[in-house]
Chains A and B, each alone.
Chain A
Amino acid sequence: DAGITQSPRYKITETGRQVTLMCHQTWSHSYMFWYRQDLGHGLRLIYYSAAADITDKGEVPDGYVVSRSKTENFPLTLESATRSQTSVYFCASRPRTGAYEQYFGPGTRLTVT
């Protein structure tokens, strides 16, 4: 039972490069989420998706792009990375019904130099 996985776990990239962070879940959960975690800011929602081909902005969407062609995958792309996007990124998922608790992946630590 793999649950929810993220890749890569660590990434170093240069300013201006495009980077894609991958998220895969095996539960067939309808909802998927992307957060970033920064010291002093806690967790901030970047984008979320209620189902395949349905996405919506969260609190901090600027500079990020998402897609969801399959239920199990929810990639996050930084089209032109900036130093301010250095952060730890978490993917999460939850079923459509129930008590709304989300299940988190292990995170990707991204450094933009």
Chain B
Amino acid sequence: AQSVTQLGSHVSVSEGALVLLRCNYSSSVPPYLFWYVQYPNQGLQLLLKYTSAATLVKGINGFEAEFKKSETSFHLTKPSAHMSDAAEYFCAVSYSGYSTLTFGKGTMLLVSP
């Protein structure tokens, strides 16, 4: 069964610091991987996706993620955090032929001044 693990339910950074949110997936076949962001009282918004093209994927709002097959990881990074990045972030996985996404439990990013 496909699964996603997000390490850390909460991550705190200072404004201007590096953001690193971790995501590991379990798979024996090539995955499709996604990062979503959820602001308070809103739905999930797609940040970026990996679909077996370039392993370094750039998304919106300055975020990027790198697919590392050997580590089964798809960590999300941003060089410099902004107050507006404070939100909950979800990693998700799917596979060719699957109808659904499997989501991680989410990581709340807290940004302090």
Across chains A and B, the number of contacting residue pairs, with CB separation under 8 Å, is 44
Residues of A within 8 A of B (CB): 31, 33, 40-43, 45, 48, 50, 56, 58, 90, 92, 99-107
Closest partner residue, chain A, to B93 (CB atom):
A100
- Least CB distance from B57 to A in Å reads 11
- Least CB distance from B102 to A in Å reads 9
Contact B44 A90 (CB under 8 A): yes
Contact A106 B106 (CB under 8 A): no
Contact B32 A90 (CB under 8 A): no
> A residues within 8 A CB of B44?
43, 90, 92, 104
Is residue B51 contacting chain A, with contact meaning CB distance below 8 A? yes
Contact A104 B103 (CB under 8 A): no
> B residues within 8 A CB of A43?
44, 90, 103, 106
Closest partner residue, chain B, to A91 (CB atom):
B43
- Least CB distance from B75 to A in Å reads 18
Closest partner residue, chain B, to A41 (CB atom):
B105
